[in-house]
Amino acid sequence: MKFDNVLAEINGFGRFQLRTIFLLVIPRLTLPFNFLLNNFITFIPSHHCDIRSQNNGGVFRNLSLEERLNVSIPFEQDGSLSSCRMFAEPQYQLLSNSSNLTYIPTVPCQNGWIYDTTIFRSTLATEWDLVCDKKKMNRATATIFFVGVMLGSGIFGFLSDRFGRKKTLLLSYMATSIFGIATALSYNFLMFATMRFCTGLGLSGISINSFVLCLEWVDIRHRTTVAVLMSLDWSVGCVILPGVAYLINDWRFLTAAVISPLFPAMLCWRWLPESARWLMSNGKTDDAHFYLSKCATVNSREEVMADLKPEVLSTVILVEDENRKYSYLDLVKTPKMRRRALLCGIVWFGVAFAYYGISLNISGFGVNIYLTQFIYGVIEIPAKGFVFFTVDKIGRRWNQAGMLILTGLLIFSSVFIHADMGNLRTAVGALGKMFSEGSFTIVFLYTTELYPTVMRQNGLGYCSFMARVGVAVSPLIMLLEDVWVNLPSFVFSLVALGAGLSASLLPETNNVRLPETIEDVEQTRYWALMSKNHPNMRHYKHSKMYIKLYTL
């Protein structure tokens, strides 16, 4: 008997599982809040040189504000005031003739800047003058954050497989909360960058641990439902964030606000279960029995666990040497694990690379930043609905491959749409983003089912690391516009198509039990839970479930 049979008998999708999902959705709201926070806190408002320290005597003092700006700051070609230059001396002759500016010397802003606070009262740019020559520092904050997320994927994946999902999740909550508040209290840019890096480190643990913990408590039949439900929190967070940013338009308070869901999450942490799969795979049968009994009680299936003692439970799945410790090297030590790691890494890189590439390439909707972010969040919901209704019918492999290939084709086709056809370009871009989000939804479920329990967190940590590499590289590809304006689109489309082809080479996991050990992946046979009427099957009936032994 396998673990999935036990889980099905105590109800693999009952009140216990729904309670666990609810307890984890609360902290998961911090993921889109923080991943998209840079869109708001690094916003650069309209600005010009501060001229308040100019000569206040004589003629200058008697000028109106508009006249002072005219004699102190040059105009750009579009008619707006220069953001980074000012005249070395007030040019009073411009009051009567502003057409001849050819030989008037200008200098960089000498006394700081004046910012338009209509949209945001305070951002990083206004706090530390991260404009003009320092504009790159403002843009670097996103890269710094995602480097933290990238490293955290590996660190927390290792810690979770070594010490368990629940303990590692609490560590992630605490680390993210502490560093998030410290970010809001930063007194200089160096402190902000350091604390933001550490916040990304902690958030990575929440991302991978919460998803895996939920999925390891759900039976095969409801994996897709739970995967889509868990991914909806991202879209909900994308929709909520612009409203929060609109109400809290100071970057310090906004940075603290997006961390706030973690405080009730820490209070509710004690009610979270540890993964029984992980406990049994690590020889902790008594603890696994305790949590399975709690699950059976909450789901009103107490009679199932009455005769299933810990010593009997230990025979349900192969429990390897509990003293054996797994590392990332185990991903490449055996042939099939090595092949899965290679292909999964390519797929995750391509998914993240294409998703953020499309987000950078889609032109704005001509509306304000809040409404734009709201539309971007709403447009992802149809993608999740499509995945929910097709992933069990088409399967994980072809759904994943198809989403990526369609994403690549849509990016490629946008190259041939003329810039004047704005509505069509927007529609194609929105479709590309929708399919790209669909591929993101599937990849978490698919990868969780591909890796065995003893290596699941290490596998997801490695894959998440590859995704963050894609995120970090994606903005740099935009620099290729200087070579050829359409070159970035070709690169994004080729990577998406390559990732789609790689996904098609992975094994199908639909209606297949989760592998528990590395040997389950490497062996030539596997167990699948199938329906009673499946053709060409040799049935074995146990605990109201039909188990079939297939030979690959």
Q: Which residues of 132-146 are buried (b: 16+ CB within 10 A; e: fewer)?
A: beeeebbeebbbbbb
Q: State both tokens at 426.
A: 């927007």
Q: What is the pLDDT of residue 376?
A: 76
Q: State both tokens at 321.
A: 């040497």
463 and 348 in contact (C-beta within 8 Å)?
yes
Q: Please choose, from the candidates 291, 276, 304, the residue with its C-alpha nearest in 3D space to the C-alpha of residue 543.
A: 304
Q: Specify burial of residue 287 (Cβ count, 10 A radius: 0-12, 13-18, 19+).
A: middle
Q: How many C-beta neighbours within 10 Å does residue 193 have? A: 20
Q: What is the pLDDT of residue 535?
A: 39
Domain range annotation of the chain: 57-115, 325-551
How many Cα atoms within 13 Å fall on the side-chain side of residue 537? 16
Q: What confidence tens digit (pLDDT) does each residue in 459-469 have?
A: 887 888 888 88
Q: What confidence tens digit (pLDDT) does each residue in 268-293 have?
A: 999 999 988 888 878 788 888 888 88
- Residues 497-522, mean pLDDT to the nearest whole number: 85
Global pTM value? 0.76
Task: Please give the share of the chain, as a percent, with pLDDT higher than 70.
Answer: 85
Q: In a 3-state reduction of DSSP, which class is residue 367?
A: coil
DSSP annotation of 216: T
- Residues 49-76, mean pLDDT to the nearest whole number: 75
- Cα separation, 325 vs 280, in Å, equals 14
Q: Please choose, from the candidates 404, 413, 429, 399, the residue with its C-alpha nearest in 3D space to the C-alpha of residue 351.
A: 404
More confident of the two residues 508 and 483? 508
- Residues 152-180, mean pLDDT to the nearest whole number: 89
Residue 534: pLDDT band with limits 50, 70, 90: very low
Amino acid identity at 15:
R
Residue 339 has pLDDT above 50, yes or no: yes
Q: What is the pLDDT of residue 539?
A: 36
More confident of the two residues 359 and 408? 408
Residue 319 has pLDDT above 70, yes or no: no
Residue 365 has pLDDT above 50, yes or no: no
341 and 459 in contact (C-beta within 8 Å)?
yes
- Cα separation, 35 vs 202, in Å, equals 12
- Residues 358-368, mean pLDDT to the nearest whole number: 58
Residue 89 has pLDDT above 90, yes or no: no
Q: Specify burial of residue 76 (Cβ count, 10 A radius: 0-12, 13-18, 19+).
A: exposed
Q: What confidence tens digit (pLDDT) does each residue in 167-199 have?
A: 999 999 999 999 999 999 999 999 999 999 999
* Report for 399-403, 416-420, 422-426: range of highest mean pLDDT: 399-403
Q: How many C-beta neighbours within 10 Å does residue 544 have? A: 8
- Residues 36-51, mean pLDDT to the nearest whole number: 85
Distance of CA 411 to the CA centre of its chain: 21
Q: State both tokens at 13.
A: 């999708």
Residues 6+ apart with CB under 8 A from 206: 27, 28, 30, 31, 169, 172, 173, 176
Q: What is the mean pLDDT of the chain?
A: 80
Characterize the bridge pairing of strands 85-87 and 106-108: antiparallel
- What's the Rg (C-alpha) of the chain? 28
Rounded to 5 degrees, φ, ψ at 389 are -90, -10
Q: What is the pLDDT of residue 543?
A: 35
Characterize the bridge pairing of strands 113-115 and 47-49: antiparallel
Q: Please choose, from the candidates 344, 293, 330, the residue with its C-alpha nearest in 3D space to the C-alpha of residue 505.
A: 344
Q: How many C-beta neighbours within 10 Å does residue 342 have? A: 14
Residue with tokens 């993101």: 440
- Cα separation, 338 vs 343, in Å, equals 9
Q: How many C-beta neighbours within 10 Å does residue 182 have? A: 17
- Cα separation, 19 vs 43, in Å, equals 38
Residue 503: pLDDT band with limits 50, 70, 90: very high
Residue 318 has pLDDT above 50, yes or no: no
Q: What confidence tens digit (pLDDT) does each residue in 117-137 have?
A: 888 889 998 899 888 888 878
Residue 264: pLDDT band with limits 50, 70, 90: very high
Listing DSSP states for 254-283 in one string gives HHHHTTTTHHHHHHHGGGPPPPHHHHHHTT
Residue 323 has pLDDT above 70, yes or no: no
Q: What is the pLDDT of residue 525?
A: 42
- Cα separation, 517 vs 483, in Å, equals 49
Residue 106: pLDDT band with limits 50, 70, 90: confident
Sheet with 545-551: list strands edge to edge: 525-529, 545-551, 539-542
Which CATH number, 3.30.70.1380, 3.30.930.10, 1.20.1250.20, 1.10.3720.10, labels domain 325-551? 1.20.1250.20
125 and 18 in contact (C-beta within 8 Å)?
no
* 286, containing H or E segment: helix 285-298
More confident of the two residues 117 and 79? 117
Residue 100 has pLDDT above 80, yes or no: no
Q: What is the pLDDT of residue 284?
A: 85
